[in-house]
Amino acid sequence: MNRKLHLLSLVVCVVFPLQAAAYDFMVDGIAYTKTSANTVEVTQDASYKSLTHLNLVETVTNAGKTYTVTSIRERAFQKCSNITGELVIPNSVTTIRAYAFSGCSGLTGSLVIPNTVTLLDWDHELENELFGPDPTIFCYTFTDCTGLEEILIGDGVKWLGARMFDGCTNVKKVTFGKNIHCVGDGAFENCVSLDHIVWNSIFLECNDYTDYSIDLHAVYGYVYENDPYHEGYGGLGSFDVANNIKTLELGEEARYIPWRLKGYYAENNSLTSVISKNPLPPSFQDVRYWNNEYEVMYNDFDGVVYENAVLIVPPGYKSVYQSADDWKKFKHIEEFVGDIKGDINSDGSVDIADVNLCINTMLGKADQTAAADVSGDGAVDIADVNAVINLMLGK
């Protein structure tokens, strides 16, 4: 498939939008379609345009039978800009299809993709009907959700489709789960406020693919049985706002660094702090698929980053990083002084993001119990939320 055909496919998507899907039943203003004897998916309906609040549930009962809600259909709430508040994805959901919340500009606060979600994808049957077997539809699932402030991607997600969060102009922080293999082209393009990345993936990363003649299965993170990097190949694709990133945080199990946030290609010299929580210094190795073959590369940070940014490492491991190739180039290396009470997201300060994360933990939408239990009573409740607020205010 060449670039011309790829772009034409996108144009067809825009010029000929899908018709509102039929549904089997409606409960509390939400339409559902049966996907099996016991499961349903949330389906598109024109009445959603008037919704001001969205309450998605794990189970729904119709005619005396209870169904589990496992998916959200493509375009289900596209351009439903009147919906306001935080979007809560039920823990029963495993799949969110293309354009599902695109243009929902009224959504605010933190978006938590629960660990149960394993697929942020297009509908393959529909895709084959429109364009044939090649995966040509970009996902755009949360495009132009301009009110979102933070995105937390659960461990169930292996890859993000192209343009997934394009145009989410108010998002300031993104946390990736540990099983991310690949992030599609332009997934965070036009996220102009984004300045903090938390990378927890244990996988090697893929690069940005702009040559659409390359096998798109490789582009979007699929691997073949004879792939020499099978089960170890993935990562961060096109990250067009790399120059805005101030803080890069690598999780305790992160083995590699997102190559789009290193300076050689991204020309990213805006980093002021690099936080590595892994006692073992992550590798600078990169792999890209180019001209029908894999190429192993080693890319380091921009020289300005080595000179000006602070590298923060686990207590007792400063000397390890000072002797590690590439890491030893940092002029300023410090160890964690200690946990800051109320700093639930470990970014070095107590702010509204910590308050939101404490609330999400209390509601079961995030798993930060150890840090969020500020009172130390073994539970995360409203007392902890109030404590974090008081710490933020300096009380």
233-256: average pLDDT: 68
pLDDT tens per residue across span 340-376: 778 888 776 788 888 988 998 899 887 777 788 888 7
Question: What is the pLDDT confidence band of residue 13, given thresholds at 50, 70 and 90?
Answer: very low
Please report how many Cα atoms fall inside a 13 Å half-sphere around the Cα of residue 293, on the Cβ side.
Answer: 4
Q: What does the pLDDT read at residue 288?
A: 62
**β pairing state of 30-34 and 39-43:** antiparallel
- Give the residue among 255, 140, 134 at the shortest CA–CA distance from 189: 140
Per the model's pLDDT, the better-predicted residue between 55 and 209 turns out to be 55
- Domains of the chain (ranges; CATH) run 185-338 (no CATH), 344-395 (1.10.1330)
Question: What is the rounded distance in angstroms from the CA atom of residue 136 to the CA atom of residue 133?
Answer: 9
Burial of residue 283, with CB atoms counted within 10 A of its CB: 0-12 exposed, 13-18 middle, 19 or more buried:
middle
Residue from 278, 95, 264 nearest 178 by CA: 278
Residue 151 pLDDT level (bands cut at 50, 70, 90): very high
Kindly tell me the burial class for residue 198, based on how many C-beta atoms sit within 10 Å of its own C-beta (0-12, 13-18, 19 or more).
buried
- DSSP of 239-279, one letter per residue? -TTGGG--EEEE-TT--B--GGGSHHHH------EEEE--S
The predicted pLDDT at position 237 comes to 41
pTM of the full structure: 0.73
**338 band by pLDDT with thresholds 50, 70 and 90:** low
Sign of CA dihedral 214, 219, 220, 222: positive
- pLDDT over 90, % of the chain: 41
Structural contact between residues 313 and 334, judged by C-beta atoms closer than 8 angstroms: yes
Q: How far apart are CA 153 and CA 181, in angstroms?
A: 12
